[in-house]
Amino acid sequence: MSNPDFSDQVVVVTGASGGVGAATAEELARRGASVVLAARRAGPLAEVAGRCGKQAHAVVADVTKRDDVQRIFDEAVAKFGRVDIWINNVGRGIGRSLLEITDDDVDAMIRDNMKSVLYGMQVVTPHLQARGTGAIVNVSSLLGRTPLPPRAAYAAAKAAMMSLSEAFRIELAGSHPNIRVVVVYPGRIATDFGHNALGERTRDGGKLPAEVLSVIGGATQTAEEVAQVLCDAALNSRGDVYTQPGVFARVREYLEKQPG
């Protein structure tokens, strides 16, 4: 079975200099998309763009700055004439116990994991509304559904981003039903994400409740495996998408077991 075709799609991918963002940009290019890649690191970003081919355009930008996000959009339209899909992929983790989380930690988690996504949605949506179609894809984490103690601030920021996305999905469904808001939930991924996290690198300890481990304890996926699911979701999906088979049932079981 062949992969869905992106040959008539212009796609923006943030956080595209490595990990899932880079793998997604390269997968999109293989499927025929015109890809706009955005990230802060000029050198790695240029390398990824080179692997994507002639239909790729790299923009060095910091998506925690609204003006930079606007510039990504402006360059995409100047280069390709429009944007069909916007993928908000930037995120940053933290390993810190709850009582040690500082004000700066909270500000960083909200800035990197929520405000970067908010800016992307706010910048591209008027364009999609004018065209009457398109998709916004926000990359979250299973920790936004099933938090872990040492990553509480990260999980909280991802949960906030999830709530923004769900509310916006409902809002657009009434006025612009052909604009899709998709949230993708990866689990463990074999990337350098943990190396760039604030605080200490943490492991999932054996003292965690069994129901938590049942959700986050699945097989580690490669960035390429996640990118395959993400690209399929970008083209066709509505609502929430989990990159690991069967994980939604485990998330629902976890939520049902919580006291309330």
Please state, in angstroms and rounded to a whole number, the distance separating the CA atoms of residues 88 and 118: 9
pLDDT for 29: 97
Report the 3 state secondary structure along 12-54: EEECCCCHHHHHHHHHHHHCCCEEEEEECCHHHHHHHHHHHCC
Please state, in angstroms and rounded to a whole number, the distance separating the CA atoms of residues 188 and 62: 25
pLDDT for 215: 52
Please state, in angstroms and rounded to a whole number, the distance separating the CA atoms of residues 235 and 62: 26
Residue 154 a catalytic site member: yes
pLDDT for 205: 45
CB 14 within 8 A of CB 68: no
Residues 6+ apart with CB under 8 A from 74: none
pLDDT for 200: 56
Helix (H, G, I), strand (E, B) or coil at 207: coil
Helix (H) or strand (E) run with residue 88 in it: strand 85-88
pLDDT for 3: 64
Q: Among 119, 154, 242, 254, which one carries the catalytic annotation?
A: 154
pLDDT for 173: 94
CB 83 within 8 A of CB 128: yes
pLDDT for 33: 97
pLDDT per residue, tens digit, the chain (260 aa), is 456 689 999 999 999 999 999 999 999 999 999 999 999 999 999 999 999 999 999 999 999 999 999 999 999 999 999 999 999 999 888 888 889 999 999 999 999 999 999 999 999 999 999 999 999 999 998 888 877 777 889 989 999 999 999 999 999 999 999 999 999 998 876 655 444 555 555 444 445 555 454 455 567 889 899 999 999 999 999 999 999 887 777 777 777 777 66
pLDDT for 187: 80
Compute the Cα dihedral for 115, 99, 212, 260 and give only its sign.
Answer: negative
The tokens for 185 are 């939930």
Please state, in angstroms and rounded to a whole number, the distance separating the CA atoms of residues 13 and 28: 10
Please state, in angstroms and rounded to a whole number, the distance separating the CA atoms of residues 157 and 154: 5
Please state, in angstroms and rounded to a whole number, the distance separating the CA atoms of residues 135 and 234: 7
Domains annotated on the chain, with CATH? 10-257 (3.40.50.720)
How is the beta sheet containing 10-14 ordered, strand by strand? Answer: 56-60, 34-39, 10-14, 85-88, 134-139, 179-185, 239-242
